[in-house]
Structure 1
Amino acid sequence: MESKVSEGGLNVTLTIRLLMHGKEVGSIIGKKGETVKKMREESGARINISEGNCPERIVTITGPTDAIFKAFAMIAYKFEEDIINSMSNSPATSKPPVTLRLVVPASQCGSLIGKGGSKIKEIRESTGAQVQVAGDMLPNSTERAVTVSGTPDAIIQCVKQICVVMLESPPKGATIPYRPKPASTPVIFSGGQVRADPLAASAANLSLLLQHQPLPAYTIQGQYAIPHPDLTKLHQLAMQQTPFTPLGQTTPAFPGMDANPQAGTHELTIPNDLIGCIIGRQGTKINEIRQMSGAQIKIANAMEGSAERQISITGSLASISLAQYLINARLTSEVTGMGSL
């Protein structure tokens, strides 16, 4: 597979996400959108740029591998051109490298790093590019930033090798995608008070979620369970042993929420024919959901004559919510054929 992909001869459709600052996005779009239009036409890849006046934007590149490599080449050379232009007005003599930030599901980062860092070392040595995988996940997501820097040619070779790894090791379980947030969004509390504090925002969303028993991890749309987007905020909280306290408060934000992580149990019923997508091969999916949510999850044995299986989720309210979210994301991807969310 590696040789085929590096020659651009493998017609596999891939989606690569890039994280860019506003200035970089402006460079890609160009005057009246001319640059991005040219990139789309010449590469044959779909290039989408996330909306919004955020300091960061997501640039999504989709297409066959050879089209993706062409698009990356055009972006890398455009960034180098920008560096050269900026240096003409600068006393700096050494040219800084071109840098791109990829957004990769955390479940694929292990394969990218390799055993004892062997894979990432091999990529660095064979391409001459610098590759860094962030240790922490991006906020409210299960994705990590992978920073690639070097000459445009080194970056193109590096991206080819990263694509090979991503094709050989697809994401495991549901992926909560990173969505850049505006610099400061006002939050309207139930009493009508407006605050722009992002910590208070998380607490407000969470307290609204935790007012209901059992927690609404999804909404029903047609016959399918659609994951509730607000629950992406629970990821870090589910890992904590104590309730989240907003700045300036000494009492827990959620009265009655026990600091003990074993705060409750929630039961779910899943059709037998869908239980496999939640368990995964040799239990990989269910173990990942346990790890990410911090909840204990038990799946009852199949009962004779029953078309359903019982799942018990035990843990803090936040970890139960996150486990529910992840289970429903798996179900949604299975029944709609969307693959990993």
Structure 2
Amino acid sequence: MDPKVTEGGLNVTLTIRLLMHGKEVGSIIGKKGETVKKMREESGARINISEGNCPERIVTITGPTDAIFKAFAMIAFKFEEDIDNSMSNSTATSKPPVTLRLVVPASQCGSLIGKGGSKIKEIRESTGAQVQVAGDMLPNSTERAVTISGMPDAIIQCVKQICVVMLESPPKGATIPYRPKPASAPVIFAGGQAYTIQGQYAIPHPDQLTKLHQLAMQHTPFTPLGQTTPGFPGLDANPPASTHELTIPNDLIGCIIGRQGSKINEIRQMSGAQIKIANAAEGSTERQITITGSPANISLAQYLINARLTSEVSGMGTL
């Protein structure tokens, strides 16, 4: 093995692809793109982020090996900073590791694992990072996800070793790259009306209303209880206000409230419901949320709260 490759001094241009959740991508881009601009300038690597309204995005890092290692170091330390910030709002005591997911052509995964798992074991032991190669290929591609987790320094050493393997064992045959699918706009039902969620707004959805409403009636996920009004009430209809209560685990309440209450205010504005979050009861691991408003407002608020919880839980990168 050429020692210069390990040191990252060999001027070989390499492309590494990362799979990230929307929340992670937002952290890398930063306000007005300032964070990613700084990463590009300081590392010398090209960093491209796939377009699209997708729950997952591909971040492509291209450049000489030393530039790639610098870019990875900056990403790993940024994620650690995000974890530290989230810990300050949380009661959790154990700090979760930084997790990155590489997207690697399946034809190179055999070299990465090694005979009987010898190579991957060597990488784990020498770097202290956890490395897992997914057994299945990513949908509609010939690539697999390789998940690395640990402290930033361990991740950087691990990426260096993976780069060496990828340089020594180029992909065989054609690679069909993984392209995350766009998220279809969710349709919800409230007060007999169908809405699609577009960005931060719920838009009345008239086109397939009858068909979708019939479908909703079959499983009634958001149909308000006790509503007997037939047909579709107009937007000026004022059904009586009612109240709904939810309990949310303490360690997830932060993602509902947001920084300085930004998220909960957004949910209040979008849903039109009044939302109150009770103070934590002593010794309790849960918080009570009370939603007041019309059945339509309550349904919409519930949906938005659940969407926040889902994105938070799936954004933790656990496998």
TM range (shorter): 0.5 to 0.7
- Return the TM-score normalized by structure 1: 0.55
SS at match of 1:314: strand
- Alpha-carbon shift at residue 184 of structure 1 (Å): 2.2
Contact 1:234 1:321 in 2 (8 A): no
Structure 1's 131 and 184: CA in aligned 2 closer, same or farther, altered over 3 A?
Answer: same
Contact 1:245 1:253 in 2 (8 A): no
Q: Distance in 2 between matches of 1:263 and 1:141?
A: 50
Q: Distance in 2 between matches of 1:129 and 1:47?
A: 24
- Alpha-carbon shift at residue 226 of structure 1 (Å): 40
- Alpha-carbon shift at residue 8 of structure 1 (Å): 1.6
Q: Distance in 1 between matches of 2:215 and 2:171?
A: 23
After superposition, give the CA deviation of every residue in 1:20-48 in whole Å (9 maximum; x if it has no partner). Answer: 00000000000000000000000000000
After superposition, give the CA deviation of every residue in 1:314-341 in whole Å (9 maximum; x if it has no partner). Answer: 9999999999999999999999999999
Unaligned runs of 5+ in 1: 194-217
Match of 1:228 in 2: 205
Of residues 119-128 and 289-298 in structure 1, the stretch that sits farther from structure 2 once superposed is 289-298
Match of 1:52 in 2: 52
Structure 1's 123 and 31: CA in aligned 2 closer, same or farther, altered over 3 A?
Answer: same
SS at match of 1:318: helix
Match of 1:263 in 2: 241
Q: Distance in 1 between matches of 2:92 and 2:246?
A: 62
Q: Distance in 1 between matches of 2:287 and 2:91?
A: 69
- Alpha-carbon shift at residue 7 of structure 1 (Å): 1.3
Contact 2:189 2:213 in 1 (8 A): no
Q: Distance in 2 between matches of 1:280 and 1:87?
A: 14
Match of 1:24 in 2: 24
Q: Distance in 2 between matches of 1:140 and 1:220?
A: 27
Q: Distance in 2 between matches of 1:84 and 1:310?
A: 26
Match of 2:259 in 1: 281
Contact 2:19 2:56 in 1 (8 A): yes
Q: Distance in 2 between matches of 1:171 and 1:33?
A: 33
Contact 1:234 1:318 in 2 (8 A): no
Contact 1:333 1:339 in 2 (8 A): no
SS at match of 1:252: coil
After superposition, give the CA deviation of every residue in 1:195-221 in whole Å (9 maximum; x if it has no partner). Answer: xxxxxxxxxxxxxxxxxxxxxxx9999
Q: Distance in 1 between matches of 2:97 and 2:127?
A: 14
Q: Distance in 2 between matches of 1:331 and 1:7?
A: 42
After superposition, give the CA deviation of every residue in 1:71-128 in whole Å (9 maximum; x if it has no partner). Answer: 0000000000000000001011111000000000000000000000000000000000
Structure 1's 90 and 167: CA in aligned 2 closer, same or farther, altered over 3 A?
Answer: same
Structure 1's 340 and 240: CA in aligned 2 closer, same or farther, altered over 3 A?
Answer: farther
After superposition, give the CA deviation of every residue in 1:118-176 in whole Å (9 maximum; x if it has no partner). Answer: 00000000000000000000000000000000000000000000000000000000000
Contact 2:131 2:148 in 1 (8 A): yes
Contact 2:247 2:287 in 1 (8 A): yes
Structure of greater Rg = 2
Contact 1:242 1:259 in 2 (8 A): no
Q: Distance in 2 between matches of 1:259 and 1:306?
A: 40
Contact 2:197 2:203 in 1 (8 A): yes
After superposition, give the CA deviation of every residue in 1:42-68 in whole Å (9 maximum; x if it has no partner). Answer: 000000000001000000000000000
Structure 1's 288 and 277: CA in aligned 2 closer, same or farther, altered over 3 A?
Answer: same
Q: Distance in 2 between matches of 1:316 and 1:265?
A: 8
Contact 2:143 2:178 in 1 (8 A): yes
- Return the TM-score normalized by structure 2: 0.58
Superposed counterparts of 1:245-264, under 5 Å: none
Contact 1:239 1:293 in 2 (8 A): no
Contact 1:112 1:120 in 2 (8 A): yes
Q: Distance in 1 between matches of 2:85 and 2:287?
A: 63
Q: Distance in 1 between matches of 2:83 and 2:250?
A: 57
Unaligned runs of 5+ in 2: none
SS at match of 1:6: helix
- Alpha-carbon shift at residue 186 of structure 1 (Å): 11
Q: Percent identity?
A: 93
Contact 1:224 1:335 in 2 (8 A): no
SS at match of 1:274: helix
Contact 1:290 1:296 in 2 (8 A): yes
- Alpha-carbon shift at residue 3 of structure 1 (Å): 2.0
